[in-house]
């Protein structure tokens, strides 16, 4: 595998992976509340305005100042309603923060967990206090201080501890049915496996049973839920996603066909060739550019 290049992702994600952290004012970044191409990072937003946040199976319609916690393992999207929307966004990778069992417990708190509370209503006093922390992180991010990463981690932990002492927001929280929730989490878990960025580590979740085990449900129940919501079976979703990723790897990397097949979970090249031809009518080599 030596000499092989990694699959490229968006510049934003690449920058975050190099630093493990980024903080910025939302009013200075028009894309601050949009969905990035891949969410490998945790996200904390302090925002003032009106918005609707869709988080897994729930939606939160919020007005005023809120504190939001995004988890890379839970699907979410954000609709900005008001014309004026200001605040801060802090993004960090799990590797950046997770240096001890104590920080690991913070990431497992209800702030980030599926079924937890990702939105907190913030008072004016709390807003001013949190504004100060975000400003300090922004200032520290630009310094040459040797231990600035440690200092920024302390600021993040301070925000998390302050948030854990607050009461969760109960504004306009709506629950979808069980099938919609399970389907949403399955689709997010499926998408989280991609893009494949190295040929060294094969795809681990390749069958409906694998996903059912990961989600702690019976495979038949998962299949019924996904089919009822999307009209497609669990296996169809998995197959289509693997085929799309195979095409991208064949077209945008210099990996040979065997390496592409291995990265996608196929033990032998012939298995991958047969799978790809069955799904597309083409051999892997014919889609090379």
CA–CA gap between residue 130 and residue 77 (Å, rounded):
23
Helix ranges (H only) for 142-233 are: 148-164, 178-192, 208-215, 219-230
State the pLDDT confidence band at 122, using cuts at 50, 70 and 90. very high
CA–CA gap between residue 72 and residue 56 (Å, rounded):
11
The per-residue pLDDT for range 80-111, each reduced to its tens digit, is: 887 777 899 999 887 887 655 556 666 667 67
Lowest mean pLDDT among 11-15, 26-30, 79-83, 251-255: 11-15
Quick one: pLDDT at residue 62?
84
Quick one: pLDDT at residue 246?
95
The per-residue pLDDT for range 211-237, each reduced to its tens digit, is: 988 887 899 999 999 999 899 999 999
State the pLDDT confidence band at 9, using cuts at 50, 70 and 90. very low
- Across all residues in the chain, what is the average pLDDT? 81
pLDDT of 29 higher than 90: no
Quick one: pLDDT at residue 52?
83
Measured between alpha carbons, how far is residue 231 from residues 51, 226, 228, 234 in Å? 30, 7, 6, 10
Quick one: pLDDT at residue 192?
84
The single residue listed with the structure tokens 């047969």 is: 274
As a 3-state breakdown, the chain gives helix, strand, coil percent values, each rounded to 5, of 45, 20, 35
Burial state string for 220-255 with b = 16 or more CB within 10 A and e = fewer than 16: eebbebbbebeeeebbebbbebbbebbbbbbeebeb
Quick one: pLDDT at residue 107?
67
Quick one: pLDDT at residue 108?
66
The per-residue pLDDT for range 153-182, each reduced to its tens digit, is: 999 999 998 988 885 544 444 444 678 878
The per-residue pLDDT for range 184-194, each reduced to its tens digit, is: 888 888 988 88
The whole-model pTM stands at 0.57
pLDDT of 2 higher than 50: no
Quick one: pLDDT at residue 113?
64
State the pLDDT confidence band at 11, using cuts at 50, 70 and 90. very low
State the pLDDT confidence band at 1, using cuts at 50, 70 and 90. very low
């Amino acid at each position: 595998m030596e000499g092989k290049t990694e699959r490229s992702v968006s510049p934003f994600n690449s920058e975050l992976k190099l630093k493990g952290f980024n903080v910025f004012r939302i009013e200075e970044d028009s894309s601050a509340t949009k969905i990035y191409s891949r969410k490998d990072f945790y996200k904390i937003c302090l925002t003032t305005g009106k918005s609707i946040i869709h988080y897994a199976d729930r939606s939160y319609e919020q007005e005023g100042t809120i504190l939001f916690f995004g988890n890379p393992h839970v699907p979410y999207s954000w609709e900005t309603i008001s014309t004026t929307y200001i605040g801060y966004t802090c993004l960090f990778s799990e590797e950046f923060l997770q240096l001890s069992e104590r920080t690991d417990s913070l990431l497992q708190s209800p702030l980030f967990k599926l079924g937890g509370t990702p939105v907190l209503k913030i008072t004016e006093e709390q807003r001013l206090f949190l504004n100060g922390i975000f400003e300090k992180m922004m200032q520290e991010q630009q310094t040459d201080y040797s231990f600035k990463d440690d200092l920024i981690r302390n600021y993040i932990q301070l925000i998390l501890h302050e948030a854990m002492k607050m009461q969760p927001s109960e504004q306009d929280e709506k629950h979808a049915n069980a099938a919609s929730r399970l389907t949403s989490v399955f689709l997010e878990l499926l998408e989280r496996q991609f893009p494949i960025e190295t040929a060294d580590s094969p795809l681990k979740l390749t069958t409906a049973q694998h996903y059912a085990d990961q989600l702690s449900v019976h495979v038949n129940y998962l299949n019924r839920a996904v089919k009822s919501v999307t009209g497609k079976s669990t296996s169809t979703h998995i197959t289509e996603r693997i085929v799309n990723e195979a095409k991208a790897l064949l077209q945008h990397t210099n990996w040979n066909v065997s390496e592409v097949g291995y990265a996608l979970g196929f033990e032998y090249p012939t298995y991958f060739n047969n799978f790809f031809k069955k799904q597309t009518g083409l051999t892997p080599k014919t889609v090379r550019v």
